[in-house]
Structure 1
Amino acid sequence: MYEIFKALIIGIVQGLTEFLPVSSSGHIELFKVMLGLDLEGDQNLLFTLTLHTATALSTLVVFRKEVGEILVGLVKGKNEAIDFTLKIIVSMIPAALVGYFMKDTIEKLFSGNILLVGCMLLLTALLLLLAGRAKKTKKDIGFIDSFIIGLSQAVAILPGVSRSGATIATSVILGNDRSKTAMFSFLMVIPLIFGAMAKDLLDADTLHFSNEMLSSLSAGFIGAFIFGIIACRWMVALVRNAKLWYFSIYCAIIGTIAVVYTLF
């Protein structure tokens, strides 16, 4: 029962931090250490896939109207829908290349390296601070902007760098419209998540799990899905109202605590 509770807590953390600009990977590593959650091999793969599936689905729930319009537009051959889709594809290129060619190196970084997490949280704090000072505009995201935002997403593979924080901050600093930036940031990662999930499932041997593991997976999924919807909607409002600097302070505090903890 205690393991199920741990899974629920990690799921809630995943749901909140996947969208809020505070680094989901960094917080997951911190909470795994604090809760003593030790998953290896198939169990760790299953748990990770479950949490990411939950947050990807929560994104689709929040932006179901926009996604529906894009899909209908693609079928009808509308230029706006085609243009948006191509920009999403361009934004995926950097992270896809990094994930494919540097997967083993990246996985070694996710091993309770609290010092790295702390340093990267401080970097996230700086990005959010700069974005908070950027002027509001109505500028559309261009193809070059899409690639630069994609580079930020690639850097955010590091634990402690917030994916949403890095991509949203980069887009805002580039002078793009805040409302469009939030939607673009959250939708651009969905193809990567499902692509990575498919690859991991194909590469993995037959996955086995007990009834207790199934209960833990269910708890983690529910926590991540429900709180993912809440955090996604909240984040859209925060980006629109230029309040990213709140999270800059938070990341700076948590990052400093993590660095001090490892050094002393």
Structure 2
Amino acid sequence: MTLLEAIIFGIVQGITEFLPISSTAHIVITGMIFGYTFPGLSFEIYLHLASVLAVMIYFWRDLFQVISGFFRFIAKRQREDRAQFFFGVYILIATAITGVLGKLLSDVAADSIKTPPFIAGALVITGLSLIFIERFHRIGNKTEETMTFWDSILVGLGQTLAVIPGISRSGATLVVALLAGLDRETAVRYSFLLSIPVILGSTVLAIGDFSSTMIEYVGTINLIVSFVVTFVFSLLGIIWLISFLKKSKLTYFAVYCFVVAVLIVLFLDPSTVMDVE
């Protein structure tokens, strides 16, 4: 891998991770364009670490409030910590559902979900979902104080679908959270905070695959550069998305998903099985 390619991978991952357009699809497509099949630890998961670091830094106050409120409520049962405690519980519930069902879905689907036509179709589904939630569903008013266990279960189920390349994790959690009646601000915050345990969990499960082969294949300098670039662009992507959602529509992302789906169908070999870890 060249230094320029490492930078491009970092930019693609950073920009697309938290936008509702499927970072997995974009990393896989970028890999196909450059002709890479990554051995051992998925390069995608490695870059996800940089993205989750950006979330943790940007939302450090929110993260601290949830964690401290969670344990204070357990220790002291103070009423003011109740909302943060249950919000933490809702994050754990959605994460557990995603971890168990996501693994089952990934194992069952196997290579059938790794072809360009399938990924293009998944991107279309992502786009249609964004249009539906924006144009045909009234946004609710639930906050972290009023959301329920059922809301977290629904979001966990929605997030599970993101194991399919082309189904955006951020898009799925946003759509399902809004569908469950959460207000936009709470849905966005919940989606971002959910990414932390999900990405860290997937990394822990795959850490045994991180070997000298991976380092030699990509290159030490390239790994460092791609990580730093991913972190920077993830941080910029978070800031931009939060600002964008305050004044614009999710339908713009839907149009983008449709365009990418068409390009995949037109320019990628439909018989190719992509390497999606």
TM-score (norm 1): 0.89
Q: Could you tell which deviates more after superposition, 16-25 or 191-200?
A: 191-200
Match of 2:77 in 1: none
2:60 aligned with 1:64: yes
Cα pair 2:120 2:260 within 8 Å, conserved: yes
Match of 2:51 in 1: 55
Per-residue CA deviations over 1:197-253 (Å, capped at 9, x if unaligned) read 112124x37544349611111121112101101111222233333511110111111
2:238 aligned with 1:238: no
Per-residue CA deviations over 1:91-129 (Å, capped at 9, x if unaligned) read 113321134335445563575x21111100100000110
Match of 2:189 in 1: 183
Q: Tell me how far apart the structure 2 counterparts of residues 87 and 139 of structure 1 sit (CA, whole Å).
A: 14
Match of 1:127 in 2: 129
Cα pair 2:10 2:226 within 8 Å, conserved: yes
2:93 aligned with 1:93: no
Cα pair 2:178 2:187 within 8 Å, conserved: yes
Structure 1's 124 and 212: CA in aligned 2 closer, same or farther, altered over 3 A? closer
Match of 1:150 in 2: 156
Match of 1:82 in 2: 85
Cα pair 1:119 1:259 within 8 Å, conserved: no
Q: Tell me how far apart the structure 2 counterparts of residues 163 and 258 of structure 1 sit (CA, whole Å).
A: 20
TM-score (norm 2): 0.85
Structure 1's 136 and 90: CA in aligned 2 closer, same or farther, altered over 3 A? same
Unaligned runs of 5+ in 1: none
Cα pair 1:238 1:244 within 8 Å, conserved: no
Aligned length: 258
2:226 aligned with 1:220: yes
Structure 1's 9 and 263: CA in aligned 2 closer, same or farther, altered over 3 A? closer
**Pairwise CA RMSD of aligned residues?**
2.3
Match of 1:38, SS state, is coil
Per-residue CA deviations over 1:163-188 (Å, capped at 9, x if unaligned) read 11111012112221101101101111
